[in-house]
A and B are shown apart, each in its own frame.
Chain A
Amino acid sequence: MRETGYKGILLEQNKEPLLSRGIRELERLPVQEAFFSEERPDPAQLNASRLQNIAYEAQIIDESDGVQLWKKLAKASRDGALAIVVDALDDEPYISSQLCIALWMDDELEDAITIVKDALGIERAVVEIYRNLTDIDIRIPSKIGNYRVRRVGGTYPAELRVRKNESKLLIIGACALIHLYRAVTRCRIQTTAFVSVAGDCIANPANYEIPLDCTVAQVLSASGLIAPPKRIVTGGSMTGIGVTDPTSVRVRPATRGILAFAEQFDDLGFSCIGCGRCVDVCPQGLSPYFVHKLLRAHRRGTARRAAEGCNCCGACSYVCPAKLDLSHRIYEVAADGRRGGEET
């Protein structure tokens, strides 16, 4: 019997109200356009270095991993990437800005892929979209223009499972591609981010194009609140960062979502009963139960070894019936172990 098979969890996606409309702008937060140059390049004449230059000038940052796009392009042309993978996975609930682009801005996305493909001389390109059983009613096209859409099914987290050898792939987020398209066709600098604004406090949940550097509080009030939020999150619902002061946190190029929930997690005073669900779901085949026990007994050394390989997907905390804060602590220990490993 395999103990480390890929497991993960099936999550309710909650993407529906966001995906039924396209990307919109908030009236109270108008988009200010800015341009880095007057002369527009001819998309057909681009080569790799010119494209990198444009990406650099337009200050585009890839939202899927927070890396500057020109660096990724440079690396791909240096390594001779075999294929372009357009990241429109959106495997976390609520977050759907990439998917929304793939569904509603498919012409621009297609042109953007063509531009990158021609400029870098890469043969193949594929768009990856995640879907699972809970949102069957979302219609995902089998092709975007000429490019194949690869549907990734199964459980959360999907990203790990589909990316086996990253070194020969050029993975670009869908939002970054749109920004690149705008930069190439209109010399526009990235001044916005595509953000999913959702949660049960939001009056109009949708994917918005939001100017960079506005605060989370501005975004929330502009999109309308129906209840005072108890928890605000920037980023994904599974891996995002909890916001303590919404007036000081600003929208960044890599911000994927702003979520506001009315419900507060109470400490129910439960202790671990060893149900083993965290072990059942861990995609890395770890035993969060074991690590938790070790950590509580202050055996950090052994815990470090037992936690190696944690990627902080949050699945264990999600399923835990005792509502323990597992993933955070385990990731901390695992990161600690990695640092220790590098030093020796």
Chain B
Amino acid sequence: MLGLGLPFAVIASTTLKRGALMSALCCACALVGFFLARLLGRHVSDTLRVLLVSLGAVCAVGGIVQSGVFSRVLIDGLGAYVPLAAANMILVSIAVDRQEQPFSAALRGVCFSCIGFTLAMCLLSVIRELLSLHTIWDRPVQFSAVPISGAALPCFGFILLGFFAAFGRTLGRAHLRILIRRTLRAKREEKEEGIG
């Protein structure tokens, strides 16, 4: 659930297509930034590293957009949010903050962050698209309730994200509780066996 607080992505991802595009761009940027940061290593100061990593990510996004992997219409619809997906502090911190770890562990961390982020964005954009337009991936869906046009607004995205985060936290805590209980029981049984 890392990287949930990404306002630009939230604002832009009103439909599943856009959400997927945004998360793809963000993931690409995070990976590019990560490799760049690794490459730079300890040779430059912290500030400069952040600047260079962001610049690299922006260039990468520019390249991806120019390469024509994604449809032009979609990119233009997102407008200014495309470069913003590359240059924001959360992606940079995902990329830069793993300097101390060994390479493989750091890469795994970055990948998990990206996957979590993509999942969250997709879930968010599916719900918003379903509520506001009654479509998923531009295909109409039979849905009896009234369309809530406000779901396309950024504010709704934030609120939804807030509830997601709370829900995620509850799940995480429940999981933790189960783990703790299991460990405790295992310990107790061990002790009893020892006594027996």
Q: Is there direct touching of A and B in the complex, by C-beta distance under 8 Å?
A: no
Residues of B within 8 A of A (CB): none
